[in-house]
């Protein structure tokens, strides 16, 4: 009765596409399906007996405790107006240069990604700050919207990233399952630090691809990216001071948070606590901290964290019922029987994830699809860190692909009337192409993701 697992999977996807809440869809559909299957004698209810212990393990998972801390850090940095100063000063640096404002947007997006890790906050900030200026300066609306959406979604791959923390937890469990099925009873694990280190070089390469595209447009289509005209036309000492003053706080925070994790000096939870404290101090130093701001940030952190952890619990129900119906064996046999072996299996999974990104959120894909396919790919000899970074870059496209790309919705919500929705949709396609190019580069050179973790951790 393994085909029932595919029916369950299809019903969950349909319910998610309709718009039902993710956590309740995963838990409710799976539990109802399991009860019906048990009534017909094709599902063993013993699988559901492990739900309390699985939920307890989520509650006590030290890596997942870092999630609310990083969310708090990102939301507090959003209130400290770091993006305002960064964008204004970097725009002055590139004044008089064709495409200079676009380059500044990409660099600010990368720095915000490495300091906040929240895609929604970054896209909204950039949409409010950069979009009116770019349109006023004569930028092509499609180019401007594509730049903001793509740069804002860099927080998906550049650490510290929430999705990398979630993927580390999912892949660690999948890696242990794969090793136990292979008879390895002292399994290795995948840590958040492994994925952070693995994502660093691919993330920077992706930023480089964005910059090259911006330079290409500025040279061959200069009418789409005119030179930025600022009131200050000379490089004065005051500008250098302002650049240092704008760059130093986020760079210091990045060094403290990311550096401490990669260097092994702090766990993700400890680094997240340092980041939260650093964000508080930055907001205080910029006189943006008040009791109202702190209350709003804490309430938003609680809402987002609760949503994520409810999804964790719903995913437990889904994975247990899917496994109890024999879905794991079905997918394993399907991927192993494909002609071309590992290459074809990996290609099929990547295409499937990319297509799902048109309709589902990255969290939904992470907890519905990845736990199913990751153990099988890992048993076939795929490197877990490389697999994690490939999945992360693939899921990054979910923020840009219409009709349900969240970055598109974020920008549409803050965009002026001068920007049409069709311009936003058309503007992101070159950057989706660049993300797919990054996937191809990483597929041919896996060492881009695996070299740094091996150099640091052996």
**Tens digit of each residue's pLDDT (9 = 90 or more) over 158-172:** 888 888 988 998 999
CA gap 364, 140 in Å, rounded: 34
pLDDT number for residue 230: 62
CA-based nearest residue to 249, from 437, 116, 396, 415: 116
pLDDT over 90 (residue 449): yes
Cis peptide before 151 (omega within 30 of 0): no
pLDDT tens-digit profile of 190-245?
Answer: 888 899 999 999 999 999 999 999 999 999 998 998 887 765 544 455 777 777 88
Q: Is residue 345 within a helix (H) or strand (E), and if so which, with residue range?
A: helix 341-356
Mean pLDDT of all residues in 104-113: 88
Burial of residue 455 (CB within 10 Å: 0-12, 13-18, 19+) is exposed
User: What are the boundaries of each domain within the chain?
Assistant: 3-457
pLDDT over 90 (residue 394): yes
The pTM score is 0.85
* Long-range CB contact pairs, 263-269, < 8 A, 24+: 263/456, 264/193, 264/456, 264/457, 267/62, 267/63, 267/66, 268/62, 268/63, 268/66, 268/160, 268/165, 268/192, 268/193, 269/62, 269/63, 269/65, 269/66, 269/69
Mean pLDDT of all residues in 398-414: 81
CA gap 399, 110 in Å, rounded: 16
The angle subtended at Cα 256 by Cα 250 and Cα 257, nearest 5°, is 90
Mean pLDDT of the chain: 86
pLDDT over 60 (residue 77): yes
pLDDT number for residue 233: 47
Mean pLDDT of all residues in 48-76: 84
pLDDT number for residue 219: 92
The larger pLDDT score, comparing residue 81 to residue 216, is at 216
CA gap 427, 287 in Å, rounded: 36
CA gap 335, 327 in Å, rounded: 12
pLDDT over 50 (residue 76): yes
pLDDT tens-digit profile of 15-47?
Answer: 887 878 878 888 899 999 888 888 888 888 888
pLDDT over 90 (residue 386): yes
**Cα distance between the two ends of the chain:** 44
pLDDT number for residue 236: 55
pLDDT number for residue 331: 81
């Amino acid at each position: 009765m393994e085909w029932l697992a595919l029916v369950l999977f299809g019903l969950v996807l349909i319910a998610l596409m309709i718009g039902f809440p993710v956590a309740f869809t995963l838990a409710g559909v799976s539990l109802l399906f399991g009860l019906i299957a048990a009534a017909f004698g094709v599902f063993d209810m013993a699988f559901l007996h492990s739900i309390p212990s699985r939920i307890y393990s989520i509650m006590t998972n030290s890596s997942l405790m870092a999630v609310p801390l990083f969310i708090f850090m990102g939301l507090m940095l959003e209130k400290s107006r770091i993006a305002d100063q960064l964008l204004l000063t970097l725009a002055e640096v590139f004044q008089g240069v064709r495409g200079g404002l676009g380059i500044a947007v990409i660099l600010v997006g990368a720095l915000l990604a490495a300091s906040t890790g929240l895609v929604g906050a970054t896209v909204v900030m950039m949409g409010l700050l950069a979009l009116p200026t770019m349109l006023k300066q004569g930028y092509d609306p499609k180019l401007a919207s594509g730049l903001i959406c793509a740069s804002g979604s860099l927080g998906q791959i550049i650490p510290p990233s929430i999705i990398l923390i979630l993927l580390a937890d999912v892949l660690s469990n999948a890696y242990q399952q794969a090793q136990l099925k292979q008879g390895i009873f002292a399994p290795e694990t995948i840590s958040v630090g492994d994925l952070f280190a693995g994502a660093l070089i691919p993330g920077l390469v992706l930023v480089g691809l964005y910059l090259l595209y911006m330079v290409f447009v500025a040279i061959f289509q200069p009418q789409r990216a005119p030179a930025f005209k600022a009131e200050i036309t000379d490089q004065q000492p005051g500008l250098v001071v302002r650049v240092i003053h704008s760059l130093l706080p986020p760079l210091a925070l990045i060094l403290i948070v990311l550096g401490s994790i990669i260097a092994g000096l702090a766990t993700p939870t400890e680094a997240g606590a340092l980041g939260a404290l650093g964000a508080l101090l930055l907001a205080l130093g910029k006189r943006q901290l008040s009791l109202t701001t702190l209350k709003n940030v804490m309430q938003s952190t609680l809402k987002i964290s609760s949503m994520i952890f409810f999804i964790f619990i719903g995913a437990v129900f889904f994975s247990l019922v899917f496994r109890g119906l024999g879905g794991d064996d079905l997918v394993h046999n399907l991927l192993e029987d494909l002609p071309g072996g590992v290459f074809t299996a990996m290609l099929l999974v990547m295409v499937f994830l990319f297509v799902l990104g048109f309709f589902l959120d990255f969290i939904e894909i992470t907890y519905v699809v990845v736990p199913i396919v990751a153990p099988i790919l890992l048993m076939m000899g795929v490197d877990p860190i490389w697999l994690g970074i490939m999945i992360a870059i693939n899921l990054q496209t979910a923020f840009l692909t219409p009709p349900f790309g969240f970055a598109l919705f974020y920008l549409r919500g803050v965009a002026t009337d001068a920007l049409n929705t069709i311009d936003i949709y058309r503007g992101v396609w070159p950057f989706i192409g660049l993300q797919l190019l990054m996937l191809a580069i990483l597929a041919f050179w896996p060492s881009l993701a695996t070299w740094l973790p091996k150099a640091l951790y052996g």
